[in-house]
Amino acid sequence: MGMTITEKILAAHAGKDIVEPGEIIDAGIDIALANDITAPLSLEEFDKVGAKKVFDSERVVFVLDHFTPNKDIISAGNCKKIREFSIKHGIKHCYEGGECGIEHALLPEQGLVVPGDIVIGADSHTCTYGALGAFATGMGSTDVTYGMVTGRIWLKVPESIKFHCFGKRQEWVTGKDLILYIIGMIGVDGALYAAMEFEGDAISALSMDSRFAIANMAIEAGGKNGIFKVDEKTLEYVKGRGKRSHTVYESDNDASYREVYEIDVNKIGLKVACPSLPSNVKDVGELKNIGIDQAVIGSCTNGRIEDLEIAAKILKDKKVAGHVRCIIIPATPTIYGEALKRGFFETFLEAGCIISPPTCGPCLGGHMGVLAKGERAIATTNRNFIGRMGHPESEVYLSGPAVAAASAIKGRIAHPEEV
């Protein structure tokens, strides 16, 4: 029996020829990651266990992206603690200030993750790196401390589910619409504990930015990881960035899957996930009477250049509706620079948008766009749980960048064809 790409990566890191779903393995890791919210707990555990050093100062990564630029005194204290730890232990990749971006856009961009890696991160959206053909999964701070200290982690080999996507995408449809469609189909626990493997000609046709958006939301279906085949687009992306050499793994034809879904992408239009679960997915056309107070275009899901390009195309020579705050958050300083250079900022400013520095900020109701009681946002983020962006009685609708930008102009949920 053959193995899936996930099984092959796990086997290689556990020093085994074969692994099977359900098996517990002790695997070496390539990167251990934490952010300004989760690293403080990791560092507390680091002290508690009496650790003296990290396993490799180039493979422990801190990104201070959630409550930064520091939103309050406690957040500032957390960042200070991480900074001091990083200096003491010679951590090479501690990103803050003007170098900081949203972690799951930043790590691939900086070449810190390469195909074939195992990455564990104290952030549930660590699964994003699966777009590179790596095994990446979110864990808690304590598990990440274990990884930071030993360079290893225990893992249960997941069963794999295949999503075979074929056909041609409709206009404006991006990876976000495909993953919302899939989560709507299988539910928020439809891939619980499983590896979600995406393949087919419709996947090959997607940009890397769209693939990151899909892998990013594997966790919203309960998935352990999302993963993609490495192709020429992946290799092109990694070329010139990768800080380490990479290994390409590929699923065998006779690999075993728990389920295989056949998805005709032709039939998937623009999607919106309604409150308060990412699986509550509807077609944008069904929601045209939903007024909004805020539109957020950014996050580890959709704050990349492709997303800003789509938003700029729609917002060009248009105005954001009078009462709406449209917040644009380029995910990294590099993306910020490119958007500036390509004239997107001029478009956004003329349309009346707010341009934020890279931060997770409003996605989790942290800062830079928190909602009041009764307010409603459309956001290109990944979660619409109760109170996610602010008050427990505020609401979040999730979409791709095209719908978010069109909605900002109309002041209600809108299809880009309407503007």
Partner 1 sequence: MKLKGRVWKFGNNIDTDIIIPAQYLAHTDPKVLGEHCMEPLHPGFNKMVKQGDIIVGGLNFGCGSSREHAPIAISAIGIPLVIAKTFARIFYRNAFNKGLALLEADMDEFVEEGEEIEVDISSGVIKCKKTVIQAKPIPPFMVELINHGGLVKYLKKKLEE
List phi, psi (to 5°) of 291: -75, 150
Task: Write down the residue that tokens 């041609």 correspond to.
Answer: 168
Among 200, 222, 285, 357, binds partner 1 (CB under 8 A): 222
Pairing of strands 135-138, 118-122: parallel
Q: Does 55 bind partner 1 (CB under 8 A)?
A: no
Q: Does 280 bind partner 1 (CB under 8 A)?
A: no
Q: Does 44 bind partner 1 (CB under 8 A)?
A: yes
List phi, psi (to 5°) of 314: -80, -35
Q: Does 307 bind partner 1 (CB under 8 A)?
A: no
Nearer to partner 1, 77 or 343 (CB): 77
Q: Does 340 bind partner 1 (CB under 8 A)?
A: no
**One character per residue 179-218, x = contact with partner 1 (rule: CB under 8 A):** ---------xx--xx-------------------------
Report d(CA 214, CA 301) in Å as an integer: 8
Segment contacting partner 1 by CB under 8 A, of 168-176, 232-240, 248-256, 384-392: 384-392
- Compute the least distance from the CB of residue 107 to partner 1, in Å: 16
Segment contacting partner 1 by CB under 8 A, of 123-131, 159-167, 200-208, 351-359: 123-131
User: How many residues of this chain bind partner 1 (CB under 8 A)?
Assistant: 53
Q: Does 383 bind partner 1 (CB under 8 A)?
A: yes
Burial environment of residue 334 by CB neighbours within 10 A (0 to 12, 13 to 18, 19 or more)? middle
**CA 230 centroid distance within chain:** 18
- Compute the least distance from the CB of residue 403 to partner 1, in Å: 23
Q: Which residues bind partner 1 (CB under 8 A)?
A: 24, 37-38, 40-41, 44-45, 48-51, 66-67, 71-72, 74-75, 78, 121-124, 126, 138-143, 145-146, 149-150, 154, 156, 188-189, 192-193, 219, 222, 224, 277, 364-366, 370, 383, 385-388, 392
